[in-house]
Structure 1
């Protein structure tokens, strides 16, 4: 019997950057269809993502940023360009609030014993959103909202964020750069978007990967950089920024990973959670823009969470 929860919300489909934008509503359909096809969805605890409150958002974003995003919501049929890549439609604000709220709900579920592991299938993604700036398809930093909620509401002292998206999570680093209560481990293609300078802090673990990196090299880098750091840190909660755009079929980037690699890193992180965090792990969708490989990779990730549930 699995004790893995799946958190999403229909309003996450309302964010519509346009038919040629990579971050389209079909991403969530691809994931749900893959979970159905593989017989995984029926065994999950299905939870709706609530909207995040301003108080939850303002733990990691300034009130001015939250107000700007609210004020930028366009009229029906219109778009607001926050930068060259980041678009708001009429439904984007509602979608972004539920995406950030999913992390809060996931933390509650694992901290209060409703689930061991959680996967949040939400959009827009979040790890590029800085304290004061939306960018890189991201409006609010969903994983940062979840981490800050765990620290503030549940009084945790050590939260780890593991980010295997193909892009560096500059927003997550910006928010927690001076907060050693959060260990941030990030693997990413380098040099590549967003190209921000990498801060040197003991609680920031950078794993840059050259274009063309394959699964064996990726796994060796995670074993070298992440796993010792995570064991030293002994997190009370493991959060995952689960980006699947490093897949070899995803042409927005140039890593050569496959479903088995995402399953492997998922199992490694579940093992860390089992050793140090009472099994508690919450994963949130970040990138992944080739629909078939996104569906297969997310299903491999969820299967790993289900198979390694501690109950």
Structure 2
């Protein structure tokens, strides 16, 4: 079966001002790399639709959803925090980003595709049930995982987050939920300065110091993540695919390269094949060096396509 690739023109309309690292050019760099390396035609391209209020509301509180709608500007920018701003297209882009993850979940569950990559923005893993932060508004992966449980009747899903920053929003959405196992590594101490205290039993949080390289990360995956995942036996895997732990990315100080992302992806594909009928939905999170991001995404996609 093919790998689904979800995107939408709305993602290019959301922007947060000149020189902001979370910019439309990120997706354009990925698209250019796919074309130049002959991968574009191998993917089952699908256009995302907007997530419904019910789907978003499985993760985010009604008052928060209403506050975002009220804050959406008719022109210019509305700052949520110094780094997270809304323009007139932000809400539509965020709804389509969450919708891409939901649609990918539906297609994978229906057997139309074995796995999917959602090339979306804004990212989602910092968005808490009642708070936007860290460039994030709706938590795409959390919404999709909750949809898999609620709409498709799955009993166990796993979320793997390899962004350089801790996915505080995803942890907040699922802390203590026995149906969800979350595995992550992240640079620490580092924004958002979370993930190391009061850890729930269903969270496998691995804080790593700056300049940790790929070999050390692979050891974490082999010795900590994989035993937890295989014991949990998830019926579907969701990936918060942030590529800002790459050694060329200035927003983090870790030392991964694209071969490390390919290796991690291969391990997750093996887990999915063993327990989840190969079912994986991966959603783009961070990654702010256009060259490193595009190379890493393509390495990630190549494994999803070939495994």
Aligned to 1:185: 183
1:256 counterpart = 2:279: no
Aligned to 2:120: 122
- Summarize deviations over 1:24-71 as a string: whole Å, max 9, x none: 000100111111111111011111111011110000000111111111
Aligned to 2:278: 279
| Aligned pair partner of 2:159 in 155, 161, 183 | 161
- Summarize deviations over 1:114-145 as a string: whole Å, max 9, x none: 10010000000000000100000000000000
Aligned to 2:149: 151
Please identify runs of 4+ aligned residues in structure 1 that moved more than 3 A.
Answer: none
Aligned to 2:6: 7
1:80 counterpart = 2:87: no
Give 1:20 deviation, angstroms: 1.3
- Summarize deviations over 1:285-307 as a string: whole Å, max 9, x none: 00000001000000000001001
Aligned to 1:266: 265
Q: Relative to 1, partners in 2 of residues 1:292 and 1:197: Cα closer, same or farther, differing over 3 Å? A: closer
Query: Aligned equivalents of 1:285 and 1:200: distance in 2?
Result: 25
1:1-311 matches, cutoff 5 A: 3-76=2-75, 78-198=76-196, 199-308=198-307
Q: C-alpha root-mean-square deviation of aligned residues, in Å? A: 0.8
SS at match of 2:133: coil
Query: Aligned equivalents of 1:32 and 1:221: distance in 2?
Result: 31
SS at match of 2:81: coil
Q: Give me the TM-score of the superposition, normalised by structure 1.
A: 0.97
Point out where structure 1 has 5 or more consecutive residues left out of the alignment: none
Query: Aligned equivalents of 2:182 and 2:67: distance in 1?
Result: 27
Q: Give me the TM-score of the superposition, normalised by structure 2.
A: 0.98
SS at match of 1:139: coil
Give 1:197 deviation, angstroms: 4.8
